Amino acid sequence: MRSLPDALDPADPLAPYRALLAQPRLTVISAEPDRELDGMARTIRGSVRIAGRAELEVLLGRLVAASAGAQIAPRTLDLLGHSTAHGALLRLGDWVIDAADPTVAAFFRALAAHGVLARLGITAVRLLGCRTSDTDAGRATICRLAELLGVEVFGTRHLLYDAHYDEAGFRDAWQFLLVSASDLARAAQPADVTAPATWPRTLDLDALPAFALAAAPTRWPRRQMTRGAVHQLLALIRRDAGGRLAARATAPSCELALPSAVPEQFHLAHVLFDGAFVRFYPDGPDGPVGSAAAGVLYPVDDPHELRRVTDALPLALR
Amino acid sequence: MSKVTFHGLPAWVGAIHSPTVCDWWSDDPAQMRWDRTLMNTIDLAMTPAAATAGRIKPAQIEADDFTGHGGRTTIGPLFPGGTSIGACWVSDHYLTKLGGKLRPGVRPGVSGHDYEWTFVQYFDGEQHNRRFYGFHANLVDTQNHLSLVQLWNPGTGAGSAKPAGAWWLDLAADTDPSAPPLTKNKPAPVMLDKDKIAHLNILEPKAPPFKGSFAFAP
């Protein structure tokens, strides 16, 4: 299994990366024990195997270093691997490219912030795994990556086989199988998916994202908590029993604004099922705050006491 | 009310007899010297959809529907253009018909429990054609009508893999009523409603192993 290119000449460690930059496509293939992918890697000249996000980061970093002073031609970045069975999200080694995962979004956001794709002449990213545009999660990921990177991102509704590739990579003759983020943008919807974490999830109040209330409009009665009320709230919650709600969004009875360490910034939470649960948003508001996609539910030991505490709070300005 | 249990197996098609009837191996034929006596005949048209439409009885079902038609079978569905390597989800009736020649507990290269490769399909009655998929699960907590349940991706429950997540589920409404209930902190099988799984970020089982999915990584 070929991994990141090794330098044949120790005096010029970037030579293999300059060779990659001479190609019209940069094909990156998931490194895993898999006969299909092994075969494709043998077929596609100059393809690179990577085992996850860290290796992709190293590869792109070395390519950027190798690009200094070089004539850069437009190219595509082709990411090739299997997709997850349920969400049809592309997987590179142990890394699932799921834009609903904040760490994935942060990675691509950082690529854009450093101008990595522009410096490498990459004008499009193609997610070449089976059915990567055939699910809500897949389409949302394609659209989100295009938004973050500022280039066109492609996926496919079809199954991809080794016959779709030749020594130059994904064959031009099969381009009709691909669909772009621009095509999907109108239909894209956020996926109801969860991020990888340790489950059940423990509530860490300080790690919750904070918002200015004016920038986070709400549809529900919003109650602004004092620090004393926050202590009362936390005493009522089983903080080590966080889990997703396996259902579509459930309307809360009220929204709680908990003061954060930053002045005028608040953590947001929702009271559900008549005070039996409180939902927090540790992964941030991917989608509207209040959607089932983003929240983690914690059970409340004494719902009656919770209602008493929250009912005594003043309503906050929307 | 009828209930049919299905078992997922890897499948290599070795001979085609009609657009829907084929002979298949449940293990890599290259590892078995292409022994044709180990192949089994199946009609991929004898599916739950055919039973629901009234064309066959549930007891005649041999395989689940093709993945593109709402099922989990990935070989076929029509030959000669259909897929020849994939997964074949066969009914317990079919296994009985084979007289023990095919054993669902034997799958190459996976570390899951047999129930992670099992689902049940009801026909008519109070369950209204509902389908329940098997998972390895652990009940962590309960609150009102909801239970906090850790679930493992199929094929990983018997290994050292961490759970794919924890979800608050209504076990009374979302699981197979004929299955035994979960006990707190005792990992056990759970059969979850197909529609409920759509809300979970969890992998479906893939077969055969080299078709991918981390669930099969050695």
CA angle A120, A173, A24 (to 5 degrees): 20
The dihedral through the CA atoms of A152, A158, A164, A165 has a sign that is positive
Q: Does the pLDDT of residue A107 top 70, yes or no?
A: yes
* CB nearest A245 (choices: B168, B212, B217): B168
Mean pLDDT across chain B: 88
Q: Does the pLDDT of residue B210 top 60, yes or no?
A: no
Q: Does the pLDDT of residue B66 top 80, yes or no?
A: yes
Question: Which chain B residue lies closest to A297 (C-alpha atoms)?
Answer: B168
* CB nearest B165 (choices: A199, A238, A247): A199
pLDDT tens track for B131-187: 999 999 999 999 999 999 999 988 888 876 788 889 999 999 999 999 999 999 999
* CB nearest B166 (choices: A82, A91, A199): A199
Residues of chain B with C-beta less than 8 angstroms from the C-beta of A297: 168
What pLDDT does A194 receive?
Answer: 40
* CB nearest B217 (choices: A32, A200, A244): A32
User: Which of the residue ranges A104-113, A162-171, B48-57 would you say has the lowest mean pLDDT?
Assistant: A104-113
Instruction: Give the amino acid at B62.
Output: E
**DSSP three-state, residue A84:** coil
Please give the residue that has the higher pLDDT: either A294 or A210.
Answer: A210
Residues of chain B with C-beta less than 8 angstroms from the C-beta of A87: 201
B211 pLDDT band (50/70/90 cuts)? low
Please give the residue that has the higher pLDDT: either B3 or A316.
Answer: B3
- From start to end of B48-194, where are the E strands? 85-91, 118-123, 131-143, 146-151, 165-169, 188-193
Question: Which chain B residue lies closest to A134 (C-alpha atoms)?
Answer: B68
What pLDDT does B174 receive?
Answer: 93
Percentage with pLDDT > 90 across chain A: 42
pLDDT tens track for A56-93: 999 999 999 988 887 788 899 999 999 887 788 999 98
Mean pLDDT across chain A: 85
Residue B18's region, left for phi above 0, alpha for psi from -120 to 50, else beta, is: beta
Neighbours of A206 (CB within 10 A): 8
Q: Average pLDDT in the B11-24 region?
A: 96
What is the ipTM for the molecules in this complex?
Answer: 0.82
What pLDDT does B14 receive?
Answer: 96
pLDDT tens track for A286-301: 544 445 556 899 999 9
What pLDDT does B189 receive?
Answer: 96
Q: What is the CA radius of gyration of chain B?
A: 17
What pLDDT does B147 receive?
Answer: 96
Phi first, then psi: what are they for A309, rounded to 5°?
-65, -45
Question: Which chain B residue lies closest to A192 (C-alpha atoms)?
Answer: B199
Residues of chain A with C-beta less than 8 angstroms from the C-beta of B213: 82, 84-85
Q: Which long-range contacts (CB under 8 A, 24 or more apart) does B78-81 make?
A: B78/B19, B78/B20, B79/B13, B79/B16, B79/B18, B79/B19, B79/B20, B79/B22, B80/B16
Residues of chain A with C-beta less than 8 angstroms from the C-beta of B206: 85
Q: Average pLDDT in the A264-269 region?
A: 90
Q: Average pLDDT in the A255-281 region?
A: 91
Residues of chain A with C-beta less than 8 angstroms from the C-beta of B84: none
Instruction: Give the amino acid at B216.
Output: F
Does B206 sit within 8 Å of A241, measured CB to CB?
no
